[in-house]
Amino acid sequence: MPAWKRAADLACAILALPLLALGALIMLLVTLLLSPGPVFFRQARIGHQGRRFSIYKFRTMRVDADPTVHKEHFHRLMRSQAPMLKLDAQRDARLIPGAWILRASGLDELPQILNVLCGDMSLVGPRPCVPSEWEQMTGAQRERCRTVPGLSGLWQVSGKNRTTFDEMIRLDIRYAQEISPIGDLMIVLRTPFALLTQMGDSLRNRKTAAQRLVAVGSALAVPPVGPRALVAAGL
């Protein structure tokens, strides 16, 4: 990692520690009320040059959430030209009530400040993938890991959930090849607007999913049987 990048990471991560402490306190209260269990979620990820490390997040799913659901969803996205929508948009039943707001705003990833302090991650870089995703990628696609993964990145500020898997790979590789202080600064400045757009998209997608469920439920519902219908049927 370039010296300028590491210095910027350390400075920003240290300044953000009080925000992390406040977030942890709020999440402690939320999990106690809505989903008893650990406040933090730890997961294996693939970082620079394929090195494995543990990523930290605020837990937004139920303790007994099935991880295979995400694996199957990502497998479908890799082999299609569909937008990289999270299962959150489909009103994922594994989520703690209200957790979709944390995920859409990126606040669930606040604990990754610790990963930045440890040097496993940077403020800016490609998002680290899970081992099962890494195993499915080709050698060319793994070029996205030529640099340290980050909290935000070129893909995140270039549409993210509106882009396909192939577009994500191209943007990540482009960032790894063109990394610079000015480039990182521009991505950081664009991140708040990208998060606002992501929250708006998530809200619209959830409304669409809810309307679809209502429509399906109405189509499958059996209409009430009145007295005339019973008489006509000889009952």
Whether residue 103 is predicted with pLDDT greater than 80 in this model: the reply is yes
Which of 111, 108, 103, 64 is closest to 87 using CA atoms? 103
pTM of the entire structure?
A: 0.81
When comparing pLDDT for 200 and 56, which is higher? 56
> Is residue 230 assigned to a domain?
no
Q: What is the mean pLDDT of residues 80-86?
A: 77
Q: What is the mean pLDDT of residues 214-228?
A: 58
When comparing pLDDT for 162 and 87, which is higher? 162
Least confident of 38-42, 111-115, 188-192, 206-210: 206-210
> Is residue 183 assigned to a domain?
yes
Grade residue 33 by pLDDT with cuts at 50, 70 and 90.
confident
> Is residue 234 assigned to a domain?
no
> Is residue 75 assigned to a domain?
yes
Q: Residue 214 is which amino acid? A: V
> Distance between CA 34 and CA 50 in Å, rounded?
36
Q: What is the mean pLDDT of residues 198-207?
A: 79
> Is residue 223 assigned to a domain?
no
Burial of 45 by CB count in 10 Å (0-12 exposed, 13-18 middle, 19+ buried)? buried
> Is residue 228 assigned to a domain?
no
Q: What is the mean pLDDT of residues 188-192?
A: 93
Whether residue 9 is predicted with pLDDT greater than 50 in this model: the reply is yes
User: How high is the pLDDT of residue 223?
Assistant: 54
When comparing pLDDT for 223 and 232, which is higher? 223
Whether residue 39 is predicted with pLDDT greater than 80 in this model: the reply is yes
- pLDDT tens for residues 49-67? 999 999 999 888 888 877 7
C-alpha to C-alpha distances, 98 to 2, 31, 115, 144, nearest whole angstrom: 39, 11, 25, 33
**DSSP for 152-219?**
E-TTGGGTGGGS-HHHHHHHHHHHHHH--HHHHHHHHHHHHHHHHHHHHHHHHHHHHHHHHHHHHHHH
Grade residue 227 by pLDDT with cuts at 50, 70 and 90.
very low
Q: What is the mean pLDDT of residues 154-182?
A: 92
> Is residue 43 assigned to a domain?
yes
Whether residue 191 is predicted with pLDDT greater than 90 in this model: the reply is yes
Which of 121, 176, 177, 126 is closest to 6 using CA atoms? 121
Whether residue 13 is predicted with pLDDT greater than 90 in this model: the reply is yes
Most confident of 29-38, 71-80, 148-157, 198-207: 148-157
User: How high is the pLDDT of residue 19?
Assistant: 87
Q: Which domain holds residue 17?
A: 3-210
Whether residue 137 is predicted with pLDDT greater than 80 in this model: the reply is yes
Q: How many domains does the chain have?
A: 1
What percent of the chain lies above the pLDDT cut of 90? Answer: 44
Long-range contacts of 222-228 (CB under 8 A, 24+ apart): none
User: How high is the pLDDT of residue 213?
Assistant: 61
> Is residue 220 assigned to a domain?
no
